[in-house]
Chain A
């Protein structure tokens, strides 16, 4: 079984400040890791993904995340946020095996960017 823990339910930050959204996962097998973003009244959109290889992955809108196997973490970062980054962010995991790509999600982190 897999699980995902997002350590912060809400993160307020000022515009142009850096931000880190934290995610830890638990799995007995190798996994793929994802960050999705959800804007109000919309579906989930993929920000970035880690499959294998380089542990630093870059995504859309200037976001990046670092996979740390020893700490089972996949934290999301952005060096300078914009008002338009205000949204809810979800970390997710799927295994490499026979689950057909089933995604297990964390509880979400609401990022609010203040002017």
Chain B
């Protein structure tokens, strides 16, 4: 079951904040966040495991709400380099197979 990402696209000015959401109708074990620039490989940002853990990476942080089966990615004081498409990949079962199901992506554009 593909997770649902929102919004589909967002345009910001440098220095502004953004939130990207990733929701699943199924119970999640983990959520993986990636950023992809056009024509390039997805780059790993962070993993969140169930338990409401919050993680940070520079000025990018994320949370995982187990009750809602939702993860949110927070981008603070956006920089031009943050532009790209953000994907969440969700995993439902722990253990032997790391099958990630990716959302359709959120296109983030940061303008000067």
Q: Do A and B come from one complex?
A: no
Residues of B within 8 A of A (CB): none
Residues of A bordering B, CB below 8 Å:
none
